[in-house]
Each structure stands twice: as C-alpha cells, then as structure tokens.
Chains A and B, each alone.
Chain A
Amino acid sequence: DGGITQSPKYLFRKEGQNVTLSCEQNLNHDAMYWYRQDPGQGLRLIYYSQIVNDFQKGDIAEGYSVSREKKESFPLTVTSAQKNPTAFYLCASSIDTERLFFGSGTQLSVL
C-alpha cells in the first residue's frame, strides 16, 4: 500500500523538551513538506525539502529543525525554543508541486 505515514498520532511535550515527529513515504516522491495547523486555521509551511540532503525554511521555521538523510524520511524536531508548539502537524510529499499527498497528522500538546 503506497502512502505517507506519520507517527505518533498524539504526542505530549514537557516544558524544555525536544520532541521528534516521524514522516515516512513509500511513494518515491522527491519533495516533502511539513505544515502546522492551528484550530480553525489554514496550513502554515514550516520546512520543505525538494531533494535528499537539502531543505529550505518555510514561513514559520523558528523553533523547528528537520533532516533529509533518506528520500523516504523527513523527521521534524520541535525544539524547546518553540514556545507555542501545541498544534496539528501535517507532513506531505509530492512528485512536483502540482499535487500534495498528506499524512494523517500528529497532534502535539504541551503537558
């Protein structure tokens, strides 16, 4: 079954803690994206990567970090510098920018 998998579904972060959200795809897509969605809001771009070992900051990259060591994987770390991390995080992939395939999301909450 081809697709994009995000884990975990729910994640809780303690103050001062870094947490990592997983995103894996077996669609053989070159491009991958991380978006943040707050209640009643649209999607805001955090980071994106068009090719392995390369990534660019989106509109709200502060307090986040990513890596792209493999084509299939694009993990997002929410660092302690992100003071308001509670949100729904969505990972997506695409062959080009004409259609994004999204995962089912990770809901991150602060304890």
Chain B
Amino acid sequence: SQKIEQNSEALNIQEGKTATLTCNYTNYSPAYLQWYRQDPGRGPVFLLLIRENEKEKRKERLKVTFDTTLKQSLFHITASQPADSATYLCALDSRSASKIIFGSGTRLSIRP
C-alpha cells in the first residue's frame, strides 16, 4: 500500500546546530515533494517544493534534498533557532488522483 513516513515523531536539538528531518515514501512516484511548517492550533504554511528532477533546493537557512532512488527527502535547517520550533510536514502529489498526501509530521524543538 502507499505510505509516507516521517520517521522521527519528535526531534530535540540545541540552538545553532543543524536539524535534519526525514521523509520516506513507498509505492508512490511523485512529480514533486513539499515541506510545510505547522505551529500549534494553526494551519500549515508552505516552505519549499522540490521536483523529481531536482536533487537539492535551498531557501535561506533551509535545504531540501530529494532522492527518487531511495524514495526519500531530507529537510535541513541550518543555524537552528528556538523560533524554528514547530511541526514540519512533508507532502507529495499522488499523480494518479491529483491530490496531495501528507506525512504524520516531525515535532522539532530547538533548545537555547
């Protein structure tokens, strides 16, 4: 069956370090993969999209990689800050049905 897994439910790291979150998928062949940030009690906010023919994409302190062979995306936040603390969701398109499927999210906490 089709599945998206974010393999850390929670991640706790020290301010200034690089946070790395993982998103794995099975039985999909997405054209692209998206990352969103969600704060408690709020809707997710779009951060980055990476296409199947792109290996890496950067935006300020964020970096996303996409390995279609491993069926995995990595999301990095460099020089992490307490304000980066949130839940991060990966999502991909289900080409067959033109809909977006989300992973369960990773709750990231950055301690001062």
**A pairs with B:** yes
Stretch at the interface among A13-21, A43-51, A67-75, A77-85: A43-51
Whole-angstrom CA separation of A100 from B32 in the bound complex: 13
> Which residues of B from 1 to 57 have beta carbons under 8 Å from A?
4, 6, 9, 32, 34, 36, 41-46, 49
Residue B100, interface by CB 8 Å: yes
Whole-angstrom CA separation of A94 from B103 in the bound complex: 19
Q: How large is the interface on B (under 10, 10 to 19, 20 to 34, 35 or more residues)?
A: 20 to 34
Whole-angstrom CA separation of A45 from B41 in the bound complex: 18
Q: Which of B4, B32, B89, B104 has the most CB of A within 10 A?
A: B104
> How many A residues touch B, CB cutoff 8 Å?
25
B42 and A50: CB pair below 8 A?
Answer: no
Whole-angstrom CA separation of A41 from B44 in the bound complex: 13
Further pairs besides A48-B99, A105-B43: 9, Cβ < 8 Å: A35-B102, A41-B104, A42-B103, A42-B104, A42-B105, A50-B98, A90-B43, A100-B36, A105-B42
Residue A86, interface by CB 8 Å: no
Whole-angstrom CA separation of A1 from B43 in the bound complex: 17
Residue B97, interface by CB 8 Å: yes
What residues of chain B lie closer than 8 Å to A41, measured between beta carbons?
104-105
Can you name the residue of chain B whose Cβ is closest to the Cβ of A105? B43
Whole-angstrom CA separation of A42 from B36 in the bound complex: 11
What residues of chain B lie closer than 8 Å to A45, measured between beta carbons?
99-101
A42-B89, A105-B43 as given contacts; A100 in contact with B100, CB under 8 Å:
yes
Query: Nearest Cβ in chain B — how far from A68, in angstroms?
Result: 15
Residue B93, interface by CB 8 Å: yes
Can you name the residue of chain A whose Cβ is closest to the Cβ of B45? A102
What residues of chain A lie closer than 8 Å to B32, measured between beta carbons?
98
What residues of chain B lie closer than 8 Å to A50, measured between beta carbons?
98
A43 and B102: CB pair below 8 A?
Answer: yes
